Amino acid sequence: MKMPLFILLEIIRKEDVVLRAILTTHHHWDHARGNEELARLCPGLRVYGADERIGALTHKVTHEQELTFGAIRVRCLFTPCHTSGHVCYFMWEDGSPDAPALFSGDTLFVGGCGKFFEGTAEQMYTNLTQILGALPEETKVFCGHEYTVRNLKFALKVEPENEIVKKKLAWAKQRDDEDLPTVPSTLQEEFLYNPFLRVTEEAVQKFTGKTDPVEVLRTLRTEKDNFKKPKERPNPQAMLAFDWGLFSPFLEKKFSTWEVDSVFYLLVVRLLCYAPSSAVPGYPGACGCLQPGCGCWWWRVRGCFGGGYPHW
């Protein structure tokens, strides 16, 4: 079992709740691969999504279909492009003072948008402007990946004079250095610095050399795909492991993908166990010790694993 799934199950146990349903945005393994195991462990579990390729799918949703889970209401928003069956989930609670939330998967990111793997620029333009962009501006955006710094570096290249982009990038870098999340943002904020939502702005059109919004978006995506990835600082614990020769077996013998993934993950987690970190009450450490003061949170190694995911 993958460690994030273990954490989810432990949180469910600690909160003394019953897992009734999963809302899956799309079929890519980094978003849906735990479905089958959860369905096995939780009989009767409902798995929602818009793509038959989603593992353990039980309920196929349609555009603007509404679901209810207790007091929480969910509107399914069909947003094909990243995948042909991608769906976002807009959530709110009637009478609640809290802002609504959008779980945007790989369609809308902080400062960016998803690749057009199975769709077109026309589809993504509709997704961003007519579907997601039409939601209340105070909506909190919870995206599927934290590519914030990388996205904002590209945004700064597109609009080098945009002071809001500069401030947001500086903030995101500081948050990243402190191992703090940059998610969520709000739709109102995204319209100020996300170039994919600013396709009618003069500076963005000047960068692309286009004026038609769809063509601007198409060119932006091509430019982003070719944008040089920033050099990442080597993980000090991983470098220490190489110095100690702990990875030597992997260099001398062929292992299956599962073996490399599992052993490498556990190795890095163990190396991180000594690293001090502020405790997050109620959340177990990646080593499984469940001690409040443990510093080995699974997300601390996201630079070793999440940073290489291809579905951004």
Active-site pick, 26, 27, 51, 86: 26
Q: Is 179 a catalytic residue?
A: no
Is residue 94 annotated as part of the catalytic site, yes or no?
Answer: no
Annotation says 63 is catalytic = no
CA distance 307 to 312: 10
Q: Is 16 a catalytic residue?
A: no
Our answer to whether residue 51 is catalytic in this structure is no
Which position among 27, 51, 86, 145 bears the catalytic label? 145
- Of these residues, 27, 28, 51, 86, which one is catalytic? 28
- The one catalytic residue in 30, 59, 176, 311 is 30
Please pick, among 27, 51, 82, 86, the residue that the annotation labels catalytic.
Answer: 82
CB contact set of 83 (below 8 Å; sequence gap of 6+): 26, 27, 28, 51, 106, 117, 118, 119
- The verdict on whether 176 is a catalytic residue reads no
State both tokens at 250.
Answer: 């992997």
Among 27, 31, 51, 86, the one annotated catalytic: 31
Q: How many CB atoms lie within 10 A of CB 62?
A: 9
Q: Which residue among the candidates 51, 106, 176, 311 is catalytic per the annotation?
A: 106
Active site residue 145: yes
Catalytic positions are: 26, 28, 30-31, 82, 106, 145
